[in-house]
A and B are shown apart, each in its own frame.
Chain A
């Protein structure tokens, strides 16, 4: 007789939370509904989505057990499931609207997952056929995903208490959530308050510049771009992305992408009387240094490339804008960089792996990890000469725990391995479907989706679409965007036997 092993996960605690989150999701869905009413468009897609999310929420709520404790395992389960469920619900308006490529459920889920994970890879082909309200939903879902849904959940649900810290930790894979206040809910609220404040500032700046310089930057576009620049997400209702606007507006977007990928905890201190904590932070220096270095190199590559003629200001602007866009994992484009010379394109490809600071809206591997890896490697070189020397790796003066260093090494290695596997899959799957995808294009698309950047090269370039990839490739990319955004571990751990039974 076989006995089913006893389940060791209190999944009822997770479903309880999932139910609550789905119910609350009705509130942001009401925003595009109002836009639809304002522009006299069909409200059906959003009414259906609200109905579904409320029904699902009620159902999960009934499955859940409000008394159950949210431990580390339940938090992993809840985090992974919530990101997936919100993406599924987010896809409903696209399917119900039934216009263009995203009417297909897989494409709709791709678009929605790409939005929620702040990737910004699109399967849209013709931007003009979609309604204003659907396009705004596409922007809003990126803004919701920007800081991480679970930070938002913790900010809203004050009864979470200890569970909130557990959730935020699982979502960001940091050992200890940097608590600003004794109560985690309070911390999440402060961070979200800051996020909303910066977004409002972005709206004001874009709109003001639009009034004087460029009529295309109206209130609709100002809000749409504020959502996706501060969230370092990258969707734009314009087919030419930010390239559609006046150069000054392109410059104005750059600082908001940089702020969005700066640690929000340090930003909070910056605006509350302790600016030195940010300005003296080594990760911040490293991250700004990377932005400066790659902008410079790409600018030089463009300047010496006879096929691109932007002039001096244009060269600096396009180099800076697109490097910042890629490093911060935003994914806007000021020009079709797929047409650039290989040197510049390859530098942009390298930029995909850097990422912004830990604790920001950014994705990818993140500056802190690279900084720690580089410092640990330098330390290892030293200890190979002095085998008895004890030399802790320090970041901003404070020593980093050896266990953390090991985890970071593992994370970076795991990221690279997954990236390789996905690259091979993209090439093989394209071959199977009879499509020609070059290795570089496959690498670009793989890195861009898994590391949540957005545009890549070739068909998936900044002005292109992922719709040309086979359906199976897009399916795998959906999963990898999901895994990449919540930093691999929470999802992968669900597929281990030990998680469920021991």
Chain B
């Protein structure tokens, strides 16, 4: 497939890196130096130029390309670039947008702006935050098969009832599968007798209820409910969308925003959120409003430095869980090393969402784990697929595969994969795969 990526920022680079393995990738960026540098980092063709101009897009051969991904930092540039690409040819266009306004317009009529798929960064990040809030101790949660299945990644804390047990002992839920473990940043494909150790990261796939139940098992004392105090620090668009989504779950979060006009705007748009106008780094204020007693603090300020400060402060005050938005991908590990429970990078989230489209019709959904060591894919099995017709236990031996089937959905209902389960054409499988094996697996389906 021939793909044109407009914008070589973090998102564009991440997508290009994902795609360069299997596809012809052309990257367009306004900054000649950045374009030049990328040429040596990745095996892609780079063009320096304005992605909204007809001549640049013609140079990139957009007329005969299969897909155009506009992912610069500017919403309008992305929309105009897609519109221009549609004039030139019939490529599938994907635009990244921060503003939810454009998303609403596009949802009303999906031919709007000449965009075939619109990825709303802020909303995606907020959805991610809310999913993580919904599961205690979870670092990452992704829905699959239209919400029928969930993938979740957990930290196993010291003293957790699960620590020290074997996978077979820990996995006592009917519709839950243990698909992966990460120990000291190394990936392990678990077998029944693998022992779970404290500080491991466990990846499970299953029905949302079983994932929820497992979460309570891992960390019994932090089940979220209506009585939970959730404090969002920073009224950025991500903060606003997170509060809005939490309101939708009948929760009443608090939101702290420093700017009076923005605070007023937020208060008007969020009827069930208590908006407070104050500087969130003022410890006296935090004590007065009992933020230390909060169960969850979400830092969604505009800069990483402030998010780090607020998160560390909240941790020191004794907040149970702190979730921070980290704009720069390099800092994610820094945040987590400093004891912040979950660091969410909007760019990774966006790149993930956009990449899932490049697997064409086979892969419908994707999640990238632990700096791309492994991926979770949703695949629809075709009639002449190599995986169909045999029990899973035989398959695994034959293929010597680096993957685990986490869940199967058949006719919109969940089937838990066990050794004797036989796959059929039309099944959707949610698999945990080592990254290097992804394209091989996708070819099999």
Contact = CB atoms under 8 A, between A and B. Distances in A.
Interface of A: 386, 388-392, 394, 397, 399
A392 B264 CA distance: 7
Contacts of A390: 260, 263-264, 266-267, 275-277
Classify the secondary structure of A's interface with B: loop
Contacts, number: 30
16 contacts: A386-B276, A386-B289, A388-B276, A388-B277, A388-B278, A389-B274, A389-B276, A390-B263, A390-B264, A390-B275, A391-B275, A392-B264, A392-B267, A392-B268, A397-B271, A399-B268
B285 interface: yes
A3 B254 CA distance: 61
B314 to A, nearest CB: 17
B252 to A, nearest CB: 13
Contacts of B271: 394, 397
A498 B211 CA distance: 71
Nearest to A398: B268
B285 A388 contact: yes
Given A390-B260, A399-B268, 7 more contacts: A386-B274, A388-B285, A390-B264, A390-B275, A390-B276, A390-B277, A399-B267
Given A386-B274, A386-B276, A391 B289 contact: no
Contacts of B263: 390
Interface string B275-315: 11110000001000100000000000000000000000000
A220 to B, nearest CB: 53
Contacts of A394: 271
Contacts of B266: 390
Point out which of A388, A389, A397, A399 has the most chain B C-beta atoms below 10 A from its C-beta: A388
A397 to B, nearest CB: 7
Contact of B289 (A388, A392, A397, A399): A388
A390 B266 CA distance: 9
Contacts of A389: 274-277
A391 B267 contact: yes
Contacts of B264: 390, 392
A495 to B, nearest CB: 35
A375 to B, nearest CB: 13
Contacts of B277: 388-390
Contacts of A399: 267-268
Contacts of B285: 388
Nearest to A400: B268
A219 to B, nearest CB: 52
B256 to A, nearest CB: 8
Contacts of B267: 390-392, 399
Contacts of A391: 267, 274-275
Nearest to A402: B264
B134 to A, nearest CB: 26
A394 B266 CA distance: 13
Interface string B205-236: 00000000000000000000000000000000
Nearest to B278: A388
Contacts of B278: 388
A308 B274 CA distance: 52
A444 B325 CA distance: 64
Contacts of B274: 386, 389, 391
Contacts of A386: 274, 276, 289
Nearest to B266: A390
Contacts of A388: 276-278, 285, 289
Contacts of B268: 392, 399
A390 B273 CA distance: 10
Contacts of B289: 386, 388
Nearest to B264: A390
A47 B253 CA distance: 71
B307 to A, nearest CB: 20
Nearest to B256: A388
A83 to B, nearest CB: 37
A386 to B, nearest CB: 7
B290 to A, nearest CB: 11
Nearest to A399: B268
A388 B290 CA distance: 13
Interface string B51-88: 00000000000000000000000000000000000000
A164 to B, nearest CB: 30
A282 to B, nearest CB: 13
A218 to B, nearest CB: 54
A232 B289 CA distance: 50
Nearest to A389: B276
B272 to A, nearest CB: 11
A369 B278 CA distance: 31
B289 to A, nearest CB: 7
A389 B276 CA distance: 4
- Pick the 10 closest A-B CB pairs, nearest first: A399-B268, A390-B267, A388-B276, A388-B278, A390-B275, A390-B263, A392-B268, A392-B267, A390-B277, A389-B276
